[in-house]
């Protein structure tokens, strides 16, 4: 993520433009990686940030966070969101939930075509497990736009399928021709 300046900049802008929402809040960074979103949240005024990272990159995140002198605000927790418990109990919500609850969840869960990195499931687990009622998620929603296209290469592949598919006592001829004409 650090090498993707546009994406990192968009997260920075979203968090810093909403400093009032982060001020004195408890934040959970799911799949923290280098900890950059945790750093943004701390700089926006969060009183506590839990940076949860499953891999050994958690050690690098600790170093980066300490280098930025934010280790008094950000705590790196190594493990999967599905398996960890946050270190503290929320006093305000102790009667409602046996778990620590957070005000905000941040996560860079989107990959190519939104779902490529397969982090959405973990973010939803984090939401259900740790987010206070009325809490916020960054990002909170996403849209996928798709449009069908027809290319010469797709038509050629469908024609090759028609020719090379063994029939196994059935006909693929009409399906192949319809597909080759773009009628799906």
Judge whether 108 counts as a catalytic residue. Answer: yes
Looking at the predicted structure, is the pLDDT value of residue 172 above 80? no
List pLDDT tens digits, range 100-123: 799 999 999 886 667 676 788 899
Q: Among the options 82, 85, 88, 117, which is catalytic? A: 117
pLDDT tens digits for 46-102?
999 999 999 999 999 999 999 999 999 999 999 999 999 888 654 444 455 566 799
The secondary structure of 99-157 as a DSSP string is S--EEEEEE---BTTBTTT--HHHHHHHHHHHEEEEEEEES------------HHHHHH
pLDDT of residue 105: 97
Tell me the two tokens of residue 9.
């900049």
Lowest mean pLDDT among 39-43, 114-118, 141-145: 114-118
Q: Write down the pLDDT at residue 130.
A: 94
Sheet holding 48-53, edge to edge: 74-78, 48-53, 26-30, 102-107, 131-138
Q: Which stretch of 19-23, 63-67, 136-140, 162-166 has the lowest confidence by average pLDDT?
A: 162-166
The partner residues of 53 in beta bridges, in order of sequence, read 78
Q: If you average pLDDT over residues 26-34, what whole number do you get?
A: 95
* Residue 160 is among the residues annotated as catalytic for this protein: no
């Amino acid at each position: 993520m650090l090498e993707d300046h546009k994406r990192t900049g968009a997260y920075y802008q979203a968090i810093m433009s909403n400093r009032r929402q982060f001020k004195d809040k408890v934040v959970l960074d799911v799949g923290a990686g280098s900890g950059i979103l945790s750093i943004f949240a701390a700089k926006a005024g969060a009183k506590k940030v839990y940076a949860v990272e499953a891999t050994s990159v958690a050690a690098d995140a600790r170093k980066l966070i300490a280098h930025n002198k934010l280790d008094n605000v950000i705590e790196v927790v190594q493990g999967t969101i599905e398996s960890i418990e946050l270190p503290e109990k929320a006093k305000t919500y102790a009667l409602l939930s046996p778990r620590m609850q957070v005000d905000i969840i941040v996560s860079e869960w989107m990959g190519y075509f939104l779902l490529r990195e397969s982090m959405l499931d973990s973010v939803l687990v984090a939401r259900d497990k740790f987010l206070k009622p009325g809490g916020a998620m960054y990002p909170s929603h996403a849209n996928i736009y798709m449009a069908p296209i027809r290319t010469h290469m797709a038509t050629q592949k469908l024609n090759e399928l028609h020719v090379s598919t063994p029939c196994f006592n059935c006909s693929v001829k009409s399906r192949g021709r319809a597909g080759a004409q773009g009628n799906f």
